[in-house]
Structure 1
């Protein structure tokens, strides 16, 4: 099935009736699985600890005689263009630009036993199998693929902490289930520290795997139960002779040995299969212990009904997806919307057992009392729109995420809030201390169960840590000098925004001393402004600006995931001042216009991941988060109709209902959150301000169930041509400026847009 035909087939199969209440039927988990979207298509529930999904070809490739991982292409373990499946593992990132996880891979096989994964070019050389998208089905809490080489239907579903497999052997014979603890998404065998398997009885095994991948120390415990006793089992430990391309070998093998520990370990469990027989397998995970995994298994899936687990999982999805009921003119837009909402709810995940125990940053076992502990915080991405989305639609979960971040802070030897953390590890990826705007935004919007004083203490202590990423020089010079710390302009601007957030919380709590300190720091963006060029420019510790300066080069010193043009627009807490630096509203509007219309020369697309122009419109880079607020900046120049025009131009170009339909990594849901807010008609340009900037809604109507309140959004005269707002009213009262307060929206009522085909410069007067 071609990429172009797939969405059409899905639309036909799902239907487009506005009367449906099955919101999960509008989700297509295959969106974003091709090229750079880096999403996975497998089975999971909202925020589930288990992400049970197929892995395709994550085997490292050879460079100068050494095997190196493709850590970028296979961030989610799956690429739609691949034609083989190596197995089904239970942990995955969604939409990231870095890889890890891929724990506890299972693969059913039929025929002679093979303990080598084989290669994509020659799947028969190992236990992997060819498959076709015509025999593949992905839906919330469900995945199915026909493993052609073994003639096995493999189906997957999941609860929060348990993955469930159903294998249908179309033909009988010698059947095996391979447990591959060598496999992983990052660097395969090279990242393993230790693996352990214990056969408890003839249908239950337990174990763990310790890894040193992107997360430098991570332990994943598991319990695996089979619906049918296995007749025999064995292991292969590989030893030093393990290779990626050749057969796994006949050395270091053990049969029916009940307990084995090794650095590399693959196991097999053998069955006699009859024609059409089904084998069920349950896999429970725990960050704490094998006993914790067993408790999770017994608590969540004590039975053997695959369909019950699937139905309960889809009921969970319908509950969270149905909290937002949208109607759209084009059926494809409804698919995009609910898939974006689905992706927004699988990036950050539960990280605790049913009894609340979890492994903390200090590698000790803690108990989350009164909250659920969460992990996978890609905060450089998600502070912008994803966490504000949670604050609006999932306030209790977001509050628990904030409490998880505060627990991380208490467990940190550095006394730092998380930067980019997952599975009891801090990765120190990207820049800023962007847990700060998440905490501040949540507290100021009244998130339940958070101590505001404790939140302020954590924010301030983090922001004063001189050991972190140029913070010492930042406090000394009032900016980050490029000769002291790289990506200096980006750091200065992002620190300044975070500092502004701290000042807002300090003001709320009456801490004038902290408010004054961080309000001054929030103005640091002025110290990297170069009036002679009209751009934010890297500056040295002697006060001079960096001489080599190319405003369009994304690899220019001083910036990260953006160029000088992009980052000179990043002062979200002081847009009026930024506009003043660039010459006032009229000149700034022209500057923004040129951003969207200029053509970048080919020389700026040198790196492999940048060869295609995915995610780029002119010099506006939607696939990179520092630009996400930019289309909304026209609201501060007196030209809000240009925001409306840009937003409606971006939506169909960066989001399409097909596997390659995302214009960049989904980044744990941030790209999806941008779509969701923009489709509803507003966007949080400045988390911590309590305001949203008005855009141009894509939906015809939407009903948001916000706790005990209901917000109805209507877009009268909506069409592909009617992108311009003629007026906006909230509960009958006309908006006189292109902004709306969070506090007003959560009170419920009706937000009504009147749309039209021509610009109305009086829309907000």
Structure 2
């Protein structure tokens, strides 16, 4: 009998596990503490609205100097804070810089106060204390009790519409405050202009123009209430708005047009105990009419729970694209939270009819594709976009279409570097749009004009005025005495140029291939054989005399040092290993990277490097090192890759507020986790090869868009059994620790056999 029962129980357990809704394992609160810079609020996959609480909105400057505290609030929320200022509709997820925080709404009771107050004295303004004990954060849903006002706040969203639901106590005057001044990374002159038009007693429209990280950004809105308000008014801090003919009206109360640089408004309601006031708030980059169309199309009714359910069903659909089996609840929470964060950005950037504001500040229409924004490409080219090529290929193709339209609208004729909301921020280095484009083309995911795409890549890479490219093209490297972070830029340009060469080779553009494969070798020009490191070089050809391989600043690097960036030649690892002394010496270098201890002086007063994201001198919190653990595969020591990857997974990720060892960077940190947990990683996007690692789950099924499935089975997997003994692809043994994209897309089974001892042959 026992022989029959035990297998039946096992089958039942596996069946229940397969039927589990992965939604329950997503923890949006993960990464909201310290440097993760994620937000806990409501959004749908790749949604245009990110409706989330702000626990503070710190000014960018204090007393005329940069305020270092502003860095904490890139996403507007820090878990250790005790108060909430309000709920705004736009956020970046996991970035190291910020903007947005548009259209902050706060419900209040009692005496009307139109200033936010302070964190230490919330009673002096409209903010409220709160407790995590009443806080619920789920995909497409957020709830919290605003203790000072005794209001239950609930948020959900569709793609373009935020849906608020506030339950009032009913024993005091009720107000809804709309703060048009509030925002993230607030500069003194960030708010250029705001306009509000009260259409009737339940519908309000308007726009906000800002000059922040995105220097010319306009967002339109339409806001409707579930019941009429009894009165409304404004507080306008720019008194010059009242000069001239407008003084004929009392604009402070019940006047239907409000405008100014510093504008806060309020709407009064009569409420019964326990009554809910609902707000639908839609966005558009084109017009208030577009925002209203988005609102009426996406959420025509007032059923909050139905909208929440629809949003969560969208998340369930996306999360089920990879179904994992694991005996560890924590592993499931890590994995599906990583998938959640990976599917937030890039964000939809167009109305329901396809209209959007372009980089040229004109209105355009996306025909036959979804237009996207929020491209943090220095981060996301490494793993996020390659992940999309596996399980989100159609979306990734649309994202590339969006990049190509950015190029067409750019007066500089360049692909995006770091762009959002019809603005180019020029943040970070390289021109990694070309990596995203090359990766898609090489992997056969290119339903667009590949010749036009190559032309855009080439024009971008030949733009002599951009960040030292003229020096790079003329001298074969960027001199540090002319342009800072010269080594990092030279190395990243060389990789991007290799990507361009791969496209040209694939489509037969021989002249382009010849030009850019030569440029792809320029990494050699900043390697100093005497020190064994990549090193800043001066315009006279000599290497910079004062050199510290552990230092980042003033040493030719950005978000990394010579130890890390000397390992950044993803397109030519064989030559890199040879330059650095051969396989044995290179592996020893990698060992030292992970085991050395950095002195405290290298962590002094900088947000670029903190101990939170560091293992030895390996900086997982900054992206240039994300491929490094997989480099052992090229040295004959793949078991060390397996060991290091499993260590990083354990040290850098866990399902808690401080569960990310650095900025999630629009999903890049999470994409690294997904790939590495599955057992492989794209060391060099733009090639069709993945390096194998050490899978950390028992089984995974990838539902591919071509209708096939890739099943990853892991035999004898566990915390001690991290070493791969052998790997079978559809029953055939793999002889090297690599797999191709084509192999994966054909579907079938990839089986890992694990053990407690490394296989060193």
Q: What range describes the TM-score normalised by the shorter chain of this pair?
A: over 0.9
What is residue 438 of structure 2 aligned with on the other side?
A: 440
Question: Equivalent residues in 2 for 1:54-203 (5 A)?
Answer: 54-60=53-59, 63-64=62-63, 68=67, 70-187=69-186, 190-203=189-202
**Could you tell me how far apart the structure 2 residues matched to 1:62 and 1:409 are?**
33
What is residue 627 of structure 2 aligned with on the other side?
A: 629
- Mapped pair 1:391 → 2:389: yes
1:529-585 Cα shifts (integer Å, max 9, x gaps): 101100011001110000110000122421000001110000000000000001110
Contact 1:644 1:696 in 2 (8 A): yes
**How far off is 1:607 after superposition?**
1.9
**How far off is 1:189 after superposition?**
6.0
Contact 2:99 2:184 in 1 (8 A): yes
What is residue 221 of structure 2 aligned with on the other side?
A: 222
- Mapped pair 1:314 → 2:301: no
Contact 1:236 1:253 in 2 (8 A): no
**Could you tell me how far apart the structure 2 residues matched to 1:508 and 1:477 are?**
28
Contact 2:559 2:608 in 1 (8 A): no
What is residue 519 of structure 1 aligned with on the other side?
A: 517
| 1:706 maps to which of 704, 710, 713 | 704
What is residue 281 of structure 2 aligned with on the other side?
A: 283
How many pairs align?
Answer: 739
- Mapped pair 1:343 → 2:373: no
Change (3 A) 1:343 1:541: same
Change (3 A) 1:125 1:241: farther
**How far off is 1:71 after superposition?**
3.4
TM-score, normalising length: structure 1 = 0.95
**How far off is 1:260 after superposition?**
1.4
1:269-290 Cα shifts (integer Å, max 9, x gaps): 0001110101110000001000
What is residue 230 of structure 2 aligned with on the other side?
A: 231
Question: Equivalent residues in 2 for 1:205-216 (5 A)?
Answer: 205-216=204-215
Contact 1:71 1:99 in 2 (8 A): no
**How far off is 1:124 after superposition?**
0.6
**Could you tell me how far apart the structure 2 residues matched to 1:444 and 1:655 are?**
31
TM-score, normalising length: structure 2 = 0.95
What is residue 477 of structure 1 aligned with on the other side?
A: 475
Contact 2:61 2:187 in 1 (8 A): no
**Could you tell me how far apart the structure 2 residues matched to 1:482 and 1:674 are?**
31
**Could you tell me how far apart the structure 2 residues matched to 1:605 and 1:241 are?**
47
| 2:690 maps to which of 671, 685, 692 | 692
Contact 2:40 2:142 in 1 (8 A): yes
What is residue 21 of structure 2 aligned with on the other side?
A: 22
What is residue 331 of structure 2 aligned with on the other side?
A: 333
**How far off is 1:617 after superposition?**
0.4
**How far off is 1:327 after superposition?**
1.2
**How far off is 1:368 after superposition?**
0.5
Change (3 A) 1:295 1:610: closer
Secondary structure of the residue aligned to 1:268 is strand
Gaps of 5+ in 2: 1-14, 242-248
**How far off is 1:717 after superposition?**
0.3
What is residue 544 of structure 1 aligned with on the other side?
A: 542
1:34-60 Cα shifts (integer Å, max 9, x gaps): 010000000000000000000011132
Give the aligned CA root-mean-square deviation in angstroms: 1.6
**Could you tell me how far apart the structure 1 residues matched to 2:522 and 2:697 are?**
39
- Mapped pair 1:753 → 2:740: no
Change (3 A) 1:314 1:687: same
- Mapped pair 1:352 → 2:347: no
**Could you tell me how far apart the structure 1 residues matched to 2:365 and 2:575 are?**
46
- Mapped pair 1:46 → 2:45: yes
What is residue 737 of structure 1 aligned with on the other side?
A: 736
Contact 1:716 1:752 in 2 (8 A): yes
**Could you tell me how far apart the structure 1 residues matched to 2:683 and 2:326 are?**
25
Contact 2:559 2:609 in 1 (8 A): no
Change (3 A) 1:163 1:448: same
**Could you tell me how far apart the structure 2 residues matched to 1:52 and 1:168 are?**
18
Contact 2:60 2:70 in 1 (8 A): no
